[in-house]
Structures are given as structure tokens and as C-alpha cells.
């Protein structure tokens, strides 16, 4: 069975459910640690390292939420 999914709704809807919020926060923290750890030993300032690590961690964690929504919550994000 083919289902048309509203892509804009999946990407732009903020996480209202507690499970999505917890998943987003955990992925954000884990990926931030992964990206920040090598940068703290470099010669750049800690503020620059934090900003440099924040962008990929935000995009990866939000992408993870979008992937989980598209797999497990198809009925909620279907086009009418």
C-alpha cells in the first residue's frame, strides 16, 4: 500500500510528544559530545569549538527525528 506523506509537515512540526523531545535531546547531547571532543584539543577557542560542533549535531538529531517520524508515525503525517 502506498501512502502520500506530507514532507513539509514532518520536517517543520516541532516535537510535542515527550518521547520525541527526549529522543531529540539525547541525540543532540550524544552527537554534540562526539563532535566537540576532538575540537577541545585543538587550538581554536572553546566558543568556536562549541559553535562548530553545534551545527552538525542539530542537523543530525533533527534528521533522526524526521526519520523516526517517517517510519513509525506514518498515519499522523499522511496527506489527506
DSSP per residue, 13-80: S---SHHHHHHHHHHHHHHHHHHHHHHTTSSS-HHHHHHHHHHHHHHHHHHHHHHHHHHH-TTTTB--
Q: What is the pLDDT of residue 41?
A: 86
pLDDT in tens, 10-59: 899 999 999 999 999 999 999 999 999 998 888 999 899 999 999 999 99
Q: Is the pLDDT of residue 5 over 90?
A: no
Structural domain spans, the chain: 7-72
Q: What is the pLDDT of residue 55?
A: 94
Q: What is the pLDDT of residue 35?
A: 93
Amino acid at each position: 500500500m502506498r501512502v502520500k506523506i506530507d514532507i513539509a509537515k514532518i520536517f517543520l512540526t516541532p516535537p510535542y510528544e515527550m518521547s520525541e523531545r527526549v529522543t531529540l535531546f539525547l541525540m543532540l547531547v550524544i552527537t554534540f559530545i562526539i563532535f566537540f571532543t576532538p575540537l577541545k584539543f585543538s587550538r581554536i577557542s572553546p566558543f568556536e569549538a562549541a559553535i562548530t560542533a553545534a551545527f552538525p549535531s542539530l542537523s543530525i538529531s533533527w534528521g533522526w527525528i524526521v526519520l523516526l517520524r517517517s517510519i513509525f508515525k506514518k498515519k499522523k503525517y499522511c496527506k489527506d
